[in-house]
Structure 1
Amino acid sequence: MAEHRQLQRAALLDAARTLLTEGGMEALTFQALAARTGLARSSVYEYFRSRASVVEALCEVDFPLWAAEIEAGMESCDTAAERIEAYVRGQLALATDPRHRAVVAISALELDEAARERIRAAHGRLVGLVVQALEDLGHPQPRLAAA
């Protein structure tokens, strides 16, 4: 039973990503999620209490993956300057990803402060890597520059 719930939840999150990519914030409705997954609309509420909880779940799943991709790119570099470049390139790649843009846009409007704080914490590790690279380059104020 638990495995079935996990599969259904994953299908709902996949549908949410697709809806956000295709139609933006307005497209993410419980009716649309139900239609995409073949569930009754009332069944969607068994997994998520609100649209904000769907977005929060997307953030909890996707942001660490995106951060890990950028981190891996940075860690594969030999020099501090290359690490900074890898960070910038990774952020630019995310900025052009429609899934990322949609989740960022809706999370700014729909998430509570606790959820936003968890997202900031996920970004914090990346900022730490940038600070370290700036320190390695001899920057006089690496934390300020990375902010």
Structure 2
Amino acid sequence: MAEHRSMQRGALLDAARSLLSEGGTEALTFPALAERTGLARSSVYEYFRSRAAVVEELCAVDFPVWAAEVEVAMARAETPTDKVEAYVRRQLDLVGDRRHRAVAAISASELDAGAREKIRAAHGGLVAMVVEALSDLGHGQPRLAAMLLQGVVDAAVRRIELGVAEEPAQIADAAVAMALRGVHG
């Protein structure tokens, strides 16, 4: 019985990822989840009390996986500069990943305070990964620099998601240049 519930919960989360990836937060509805999974709408409520609860669960499951991928890329880098570059590039490489699209859609949505706090905490953990590298590079305020660096990454993510004229690789190169050399690219 527990295994069945776990599988159903996983199927609901997978359906939620797909809905968020395809249509943003507006697409994430309980009727749509029920249709995607073949469950009755009332059954969806047995697993999640609200849309915010689905969002919180996705953040709890997906964000650590995404952050771990960034952490692995940084661990492979040898110098502090290489670590900063890995931090930027790996996040931008993940933009096309369905988990990322779901997290991005979630981040842009109207959420309750609990869900927003979980997203903030997850982003805080991501930003914390690069603080040491920035400190090693001599930044006097590495935490502030890390938050500003994440702002560059977030802007590059939005640019990639918009499907603008530049190729994603060009956007990634520009973001890395901005991160490492500022406006003196």
- Given the two structures, how large is their TM-score scaled by the length of structure 1? 0.89
Matches within 5 A, 1:21-100: 21-97=21-97, 99-100=99-100
What is the CA–CA distance in structure 2 between the aligned matches of 1:2 and 1:86, rounded to whole Å?
A: 40
Secondary structure in 2 aligned to 1:4?
A: helix
Write the letter of the residue equivalent to 2:118: R
Secondary structure in 2 aligned to 1:78?
A: coil
Secondary structure in 2 aligned to 1:11?
A: helix
| Count of aligned positions | 147
Q: Does the Cα contact within 8 Å between 1:16 and 1:33 map onto a contact in 2?
A: yes
Deviation string, structure 1 residues 17-68 (Cα, Å, up to 9, x no partner): 1111122222211111111111111100000111111111111110111011
Q: 1:46 to 1:64 in 2, by over 3 A?
A: same
Write the letter of the residue equivalent to 1:13: L
Deviation string, structure 1 residues 107-146 (Cα, Å, up to 9, x no partner): 4434322332222222223322211001111122212211
- Given the two structures, how large is their TM-score scaled by the length of structure 2? 0.72
Please name the residue that 1:14 is paired with: 14
Write the letter of the residue equivalent to 1:30: F
What percent identity do the matched residue pairs reach?
Answer: 72
Secondary structure in 1 aligned to 2:109?
A: helix
Q: Does the Cα contact within 8 Å between 1:25 and 1:106 map onto a contact in 2?
A: yes
What is the CA–CA distance in structure 2 between the aligned matches of 1:146 and 1:95, rounded to whole Å?
A: 20
Matches within 5 A, 1:109-120: 109-120=109-120
Q: What is the root-mean-square deviation in Å for CA atoms of aligned residues?
A: 1.7
Note the C-alpha offset of 1:5: 0.6
Structure 1, 116-125 or 49-58: larger mean CA deviation: 116-125
Matches within 5 A, 1:104-143: 104-143=104-143
Note the C-alpha offset of 1:98: 5.2
Whose relative contact order is higher, 1 or 2, with alpha carbons under 8 Å and at least 6 apart? 1
Structure 1, 121-130 or 134-143: larger mean CA deviation: 121-130
What is the CA–CA distance in structure 1 between the aligned matches of 2:71 and 2:96, rounded to whole Å?
A: 18
Write the letter of the residue equivalent to 2:142: P
Structure 1, unpaired ranges of 5+: none
Write the letter of the residue equivalent to 2:71: E
Q: 1:27 to 1:126 in 2, by over 3 A?
A: closer
